[in-house]
A and B are shown apart, each in its own frame.
Chain A
Amino acid sequence: MPPAVKTEVKIGRMILRNPVTVASGTFGYASEFAGFLDLRELGAVTTKTITLKPRRGNLPPRTCETPAGMLNSVGLENPGIDVFLRDKLPYIAGYKVPVIVSIASESDNREFIELAKRLDACFDAAAIELNISCPNVRHKKLGTGAYLIAQDARATYRLVKAVRAATKKTIITKLSPNVTDIVSIAAAAEEAGSDALSMINTIAGMSIDVGSRRPRIGAVLGGLSGPAIRPVAVRMVWETSKRVRIPIIGMGGISDTSGALEFIMAGASAVGVGTGNFLQPSLSAGIARGIKEYMREHSIGNIKMLREGLKYAC
């Protein structure tokens, strides 16, 4: 008789039946993937970032392929929260899977607070992910010189604190790798009351078509994702997990089960499949099964044991 394996994890007030979710922006609003996998096989669904008003997004071309990765500069195109709450969220909630709603502001913190209040009143939203780290939208009103909130520990603290006061929902803060010291930003989010961290967002990058001498992304710069960034993401999760006590959802270039396991062994409580969803639409569900299979094979009873089981050379 094989040993019992428990894959449940707790993220804030949410209980996920397994540690696998998806990275915001790579899974649309889930309906796009429903024909390729059973959404109930995921621990949670994370939706594409929404803003208060509909947003048109950036100039095409918006994606290009790079070695073992891709650049994107979609610029948070989305239909706005009204359409989201009316058309998108009820559909996903129908699958009885926790929904993590990613939000961003086109202006200042007040938009985050308003979005959080709207979602606070919404039964179908299990958690709110604060996208303060999208490299493809610029914020000018910070007054700190930084153009992403997630690049400034004080700005991160202020925002998370303000959203914390506006909602009782689980708050997940999504961090940017485009910083000198991601641990200090993570600590600021924790101190301000974030229930969890989601890391990493894409790494700012650029690619040029030498034939036409043009940038291969319409907005010139884009965010790098895919297997190419995985070692960077795993390192950041490892460093951060040793400093903060709140759970981490690790992501960055997961394209198979072992890639997901790396994040958990580095200290993440859960993982997000991102660009991998584009390569194989059913991948996230396959990884959820794969992690369980691995735990069974290695007689690892729960995710905590997996997370704390990294062996160092001595």
Chain B
Amino acid sequence: MKAFEKRVKILSNHSLKKNYFLLSFKDRDIAGAAVPGQFLMVKTARGLYPLLRRPLSIHSCSGGKDGRIGILYEVKGPGSELLSFCRPKDCLEVVGPLGNGFPLPGHGRDVVLVAGGMGAAPLFFLAERLTADNKKRRIHVLIGACGKEHLCRVKEFSAAGCSVLVSTDDGSRGRQGYVSGLLESFLDKPGNVSVTPLIYACGPRPMLQAVAFVAAKYGVPGYCSLEAHMACGIGACMGCVIPVRDQGGREEYKRVCNDGPVFGLQEPDWGKM
């Protein structure tokens, strides 16, 4: 895995809705090396506050000559706020691609992508790659958010050839309730998916815990991508650890940055997080 420390030029950076922004830049090295599920450490300040880079997952990526990377982010603190002020042609310091990507499904195996809020960010890159590899599979996308104004990338997933189902906590769009409930009703209907599908989930930790619970109940394997506060992002500081259970049931700490951010759905010790 090759990662780069780069200063790149921003191509675009605009608000999609509410506090949700989409930023893009061009870099052939990063775009050529990136796989779905990986992230970038992005410097947001010119000076010393905020001091640390922000880990942001790669939302879209076109390799080859184009070499374009997209980052979907929500403004919710001083770092992301500064990022939202960036204009096209501004420079951005990024390190990446970092972390381990999603293990990809075998030929013809259906997949279910489960996104909670900003969880759509890394899953869209995965959907891009899965639709491009032409391996005769159905890609189901379940997107949940607290209300319709927080739903992100629904149209884009559809346009990419995925079948999309939506849930909102307040019922303002799609099924009312959590996206884990939507997943349960989806898996409950026979014929929705072939044999045993693979789940790929990203979102807040309580949502991922609920998805892991539903997946275990239906015997469906899968992966989740976790978010964490990170200092280095490259496995050196041991700051972003989470408790996991290894195959012998022994508990240990693993780094979200370097051992993850993708973990098996049943790997994290959800009760202790």
Interface pair B231/A72, CB less than 8 Å apart = yes
Known interface pairs A69-B51, A255-B48; A281-B234 also in contact (CB < 8 Å): yes
Output the nearest chain B residue to A54 by Cβ-Cβ distance.
B252
Interface segment among B128-136, B214-222, B238-246: the answer is B238-246
Known interface pairs A226-B51, A255-B48, A279-B52; A63-B253 also in contact (CB < 8 Å): no
User: Could you write out 16 A-B pairs with CB less than 8 Å apart?
Assistant: A35-B2, A57-B253, A62-B240, A63-B237, A65-B229, A67-B49, A68-B48, A68-B49, A70-B52, A74-B239, A275-B51, A278-B232, A278-B237, A279-B43, A279-B53, A280-B93
B residues adjacent to A (C-beta < 8 A): 2-3, 5, 43, 48-53, 93, 95, 229-243, 252-253, 258
Interface pair A278/B52, CB less than 8 Å apart = yes
Interface pair A277/B51, CB less than 8 Å apart = no
Give A54-81 interface residues, CB cut-off 8 Å to B.
56-57, 60-70, 72, 74, 77
Known interface pairs A57-B238, A68-B51, A77-B238; A277-B232 also in contact (CB < 8 Å): yes
Contact of B237 among A25, A68, A69 (CB under 8 A): A25
Q: In whole angstroms, how far apart are the Cα atoms of A115 and B233 in the complex?
A: 30
List the 3 closest pairs (A to B, CB-CB), nearest first. Answer: A28-B236, A63-B239, A68-B48
A245-264 CB contact bits vs B (8 Å, 1 = yes)? Answer: 00000000001000000000
Query: Among the interface residues A60, A61, A227, A275, which one has the most CB atoms of the partner chain B within 10 A?
Result: A60
Q: A68-B51, A281-B95 known; 8 other A-B pairs, CB under 8 Å?
A: A28-B234, A48-B238, A62-B238, A62-B240, A74-B237, A227-B48, A275-B51, A278-B231
Interface pair A64/B253, CB less than 8 Å apart = no
Interface pair A65/B241, CB less than 8 Å apart = no
Query: Among the interface residues A63, A72, A255, which one has the most CB atoms of the partner chain B within 10 A?
Result: A63
The majority secondary structure among interface residues of chain B is loop
Interface pair B5/A227, CB less than 8 Å apart = no
Q: In whole angstroms, how far apart are the Cα atoms of A272 and B117 in the complex?
A: 42
Residues of A within 8 A of B233 (CB): 278
A contact residues, range: 35 or more
Residues of B within 8 A of A66 (CB): 51
Known interface pairs A74-B237, A278-B237; A65-B52 also in contact (CB < 8 Å): yes
Q: In whole angstroms, how far apart are the Cα atoms of A275 and B51 in the complex?
A: 10
Output the nearest chain B residue to A28 by Cβ-Cβ distance.
B236
A140-164 CB contact bits vs B (8 Å, 1 = yes)? Answer: 0000000000000000000000000
- A33 interfacial contact with B, CB 8 Å: yes
Interface pair B5/A280, CB less than 8 Å apart = yes
Residues of A within 8 A of B2 (CB): 35
- A167 interfacial contact with B, CB 8 Å: no
A8-35 CB contact bits vs B (8 Å, 1 = yes)? Answer: 0000000000000000011110001101
Q: In whole angstroms, how far apart are the Cα atoms of A68 and B45 in the complex?
A: 11
- A36 interfacial contact with B, CB 8 Å: yes
Residues of A within 8 A of B258 (CB): 32
Residues of B within 8 A of A282 (CB): 5
Residues of B within 8 A of A227 (CB): 48, 51
Q: In whole angstroms, how far apart are the Cα atoms of A26 and B243 in the complex?
A: 22
Q: In whole angstroms, how far apart are the Cα atoms of A70 and B51 in the complex?
A: 8
Contact of B5 among A36, A56, A255 (CB under 8 A): A36
Output the nearest chain B residue to A74 by Cβ-Cβ distance.
B238
Q: In whole angstroms, how far apart are the Cα atoms of A77 and B235 in the complex?
A: 12
Interface pair A56/B229, CB less than 8 Å apart = no
Known interface pairs A56-B252, A61-B229, A68-B49; A33-B236 also in contact (CB < 8 Å): yes
Interface pair B235/A32, CB less than 8 Å apart = yes
Output the nearest chain B residue to A37 by Cβ-Cβ distance.
B5
Interface pair A72/B234, CB less than 8 Å apart = no
Q: In whole angstroms, how far apart are the Cα atoms of A280 and B243 in the complex?
A: 28
Interface pair B240/A279, CB less than 8 Å apart = no
Closest chain-A Cβ to B245's Cβ sits at a distance in Å of 14
Contact of A278 among B236, B242, B243, B253 (CB under 8 A): B236
Closest chain-A Cβ to B105's Cβ sits at a distance in Å of 29
Output the nearest chain B residue to A64 by Cβ-Cβ distance.
B229
Interface pair B51/A63, CB less than 8 Å apart = no
Residues of B within 8 A of A69 (CB): 51
Query: Among the interface residues B232, B234, B240, B258, which one has the most CB atoms of the partner chain A within 10 A?
Result: B232
A282-313 CB contact bits vs B (8 Å, 1 = yes)? Answer: 10000000000000000000000000000000
Query: Among the interface residues B93, B229, B230, B239, which one has the most CB atoms of the partner chain A within 10 A?
Result: B239
Interface pair A35/B51, CB less than 8 Å apart = no
Residues of B within 8 A of A275 (CB): 51, 231
Closest chain-A Cβ to B71's Cβ sits at a distance in Å of 19
Closest chain-A Cβ to B93's Cβ sits at a distance in Å of 8
Output the nearest chain B residue to A62 by Cβ-Cβ distance.
B239
Interface pair A281/B231, CB less than 8 Å apart = no
Residues of B within 8 A of A74 (CB): 237-239
Known interface pairs A63-B231, A77-B253, A279-B53; A72-B237 also in contact (CB < 8 Å): yes
Residues of A within 8 A of B241 (CB): 57, 60, 62, 77
Q: In whole angstroms, how far apart are the Cα atoms of A102 and B272 in the complex?
A: 31
Residues of A within 8 A of B53 (CB): 278-279
Interface pair B236/A277, CB less than 8 Å apart = yes
Residues of A within 8 A of B52 (CB): 65, 70, 278-279
Closest chain-A Cβ to B60's Cβ sits at a distance in Å of 24
